[in-house]
A and B are shown apart, each in its own frame.
Chain A
Amino acid sequence: MRHLLRTPAGLAGTTLVALMVILAIAGPPIWGAEAERIDPAVILQGASAAHPLGTDNLGRDILARVLVAGRLSLFLALLATLIGAIGGTVLGALPAVLPRRPARLVTGTVNALVAFPGLLLAMFTAVIAGLGARGAVLGIGVAIAPGFARLTQTLAASVAGADYVSAARMLGVPRRRIMTRHVLPNIAEPLILNLTQALGGALLGLAGMSFLGLGVQPPSFDWGRLLFDGFGRIYSTPAVALGPAVAVALAGIGFNLLGDVLARAASRTAVPAGKAAPQAASMPGELDAPDPEAVLEVRDLTVTFPGGVTPVRGLSLTVAPGEIVGLVGESGSGKSLTASAIGGLVPYPGEVSAARLRLCGTDLGELPEQERRKLLGTSLAMVFQDPMASLNPALRVGGQLAEVATVHQGASRAEARTRAVDRLGHVRIPEPERRARQHPHELSGGMRQRAVIAMGLMGTPRLIIADEPTTALDVTVQRQILRLLREVTGESGAATLFISHDIAVVGELCHRVVVMYAGRVVEELPVEKLASGAAHPYTRALVASLPDMDTDRSLPLASIPGHQPSPAELGPGCAFAARCELATGRCAERPPLIPYGKAHQVACWEAS
Chain B
Amino acid sequence: MIIKNLTVRFGAFTAVDDVTLEIPAGAIVGLVGESGSGKSTLARAVTGLVPYTGEITGGDPRRIQMVFQDPYASLDPRMTVGASVAEGLRVPRAARQAEVERLLSLVSLPASMAGRYPRELSGGQRQRVAVARALGARPELLVADEITSALDVSVQGSVLNLVRSLREELGLSMLFISHNLAVVRYVSDVVAVMHRGRLVEMGATEEVVGSPRDGYTRSLLEAVPRLKRA
Contact = CB atoms under 8 A, between A and B. Distances in A.
Interface of A: 162-164, 166-173, 181-182, 185-186, 330-331, 474-476, 478-479, 482, 501-505, 507-508, 527-528, 530-533, 541-543, 545-551, 553, 556-561, 563-564
26 contacts: A164-B84, A170-B47, A170-B48, A170-B134, A330-B154, A474-B179, A475-B223, A476-B34, A476-B220, A501-B153, A508-B225, A508-B226, A530-B227, A542-B153, A545-B154, A546-B153, A546-B182, A548-B224, A549-B209, A549-B221, A549-B226, A553-B185, A557-B157, A558-B157, A560-B154, A564-B154
Given A501-B153, A547-B185, A549-B185, A170 B209 contact: no
A168 to B, nearest CB: 6
A505 B223 CA distance: 10
Given A530-B227, A543-B227, A559-B158, A171 B133 contact: yes
Contacts of A530: 227-228
A164 B74 contact: yes
B109 interface: no
Size class of the B contact interface (CB-based, 8 Å): 35 or more
Could you say which of A502, A546, A561 has the most chain B C-beta atoms within 10 Å of its C-beta?
A546
Contacts of A185: 76, 78
B65 interface: yes
Contacts of B160: 547, 557
A168 B219 CA distance: 39
Interface string B22-56: 00000000000011000000000001110000000
A551 B220 contact: no
A186 B48 contact: no
Contact of A475 (B47, B134, B186, B220): B220
Given A476-B219, A547-B183, A557-B161, A167 B130 contact: yes
Interface of B: 34-35, 47-49, 62, 64-66, 68, 70, 73-79, 84, 87-88, 122, 124, 130, 133-134, 136-137, 152-158, 160-161, 164, 179, 181-183, 185-186, 205, 209, 219-230
Given A171-B87, A557-B160, A546 B227 contact: yes
Contact of A330 (B77, B152, B157): B152
A588 to B, nearest CB: 22
Contacts of A330: 152-154
Contact of A507 (B34, B49, B152, B227): B227
The 5 A-B pairs at the shortest CB distance, nearest first, are namely A559-B157, A171-B88, A474-B34, A557-B157, A163-B74
A504 B181 CA distance: 13
A167 B66 contact: yes
Given A182-B76, A476-B34, A563-B122, A549 B224 contact: yes
Contacts of B158: 557, 559, 561
Given A533-B230, A546-B227, A559-B155, 4 more contacts: A170-B134, A170-B137, A530-B227, A531-B227
Contacts of B179: 474-475
